[in-house]
Structure 1
Amino acid sequence: MKNVGIPLRREEIETALLSEELVNYFELSDALDKLCALGHLKLENGAYSVSPSGAELAEMLQNELPRSVRESAVNAVLMAQQYKRKQAQHKAFVTSAKDGWRVTCTIEDLGETVFSFELYLPDELTANAVKEKFIAEGDSIFRCMLGLLTGNKQMLSDFLSE
């Protein structure tokens, strides 16, 4: 958290560290509570930040963790923050439909919908997977669809070579 430099919400920390399998949920929850109780973390407005004593402790313990673990943790937090930003722009909703599920996906920019589509899927698990993939990769999906609809083979080629 010290290296990220901005306060993080609990769900951002959980998403980052649990997705990289760096800790389990109960250890993480316990550690956050203890670090707050000891004054190493501050919880304000739903976000955790490192206190001066926490920064000092992090500095002392910095070499105790392997570099790869430290880098994985920082990268995971940055990816979680990027996902949150995309979630604000790439919106996806799953709703129940007759004999299945509907996923409505939109990309908004400056308050306007610039891209929107709906998919019907047979089960909720697949619908939620599509929702998460759209939030994470909506820009690429938009670029691919635009390339297909405009016949822009270069746009498709660029997408496929990524």
Structure 2
Amino acid sequence: MARYGFIHDKLDIKFLILYLMARVAAPIDFPTLTELTMCDEGVDYFDFAEAVSELVNSDHLTLKNGLYEITEKGRSNGAVCESSLPYSVKHKCSANLVKLNGILRRNAQVRAEISPRESGGFTARMFLDDDGGNLLTLEFFCGSQEQAQRLADGFKTKPERVYNEVLSALLAGEDSET
């Protein structure tokens, strides 16, 4: 079957994968890599899956805990070959990468973890970071894992609001309390 689009063979797909992986803000899973790579009508899924496997086997990518990351070898080899990718493909990739990198950066800056306590119950720890480091760390005792998960989910949904509310409460003068 004839392929439409600018990507025509497995080598082109490998160049595209290396181009994308050099620009993602954090390691990504296979479905996310698939979604990014399928930006051109010429990309065949089976060739794509095979290309990813070959890039891992040749040490251009690493696979750890289900997440793919580019290696230094992949970064340097990809940089040499990226000029062979058509401008329209790079343009589509850039638009998709802007969205994804925003999500990846936020996920790296807003984290929560739940751990059981030896004495019973659970600890919910929540972290808010920025480029300079940690801004806020909260730790709560929770009677159940469900309660800890609700706290973690609420924090992840609105971390800026939690941060601002804590600051407002701490900085409010004594005369404003009733």
Band the TM-score falls in, shorter-chain normalisation:
0.3 to 0.5
Q: Which has the larger radius of gyration?
A: 2
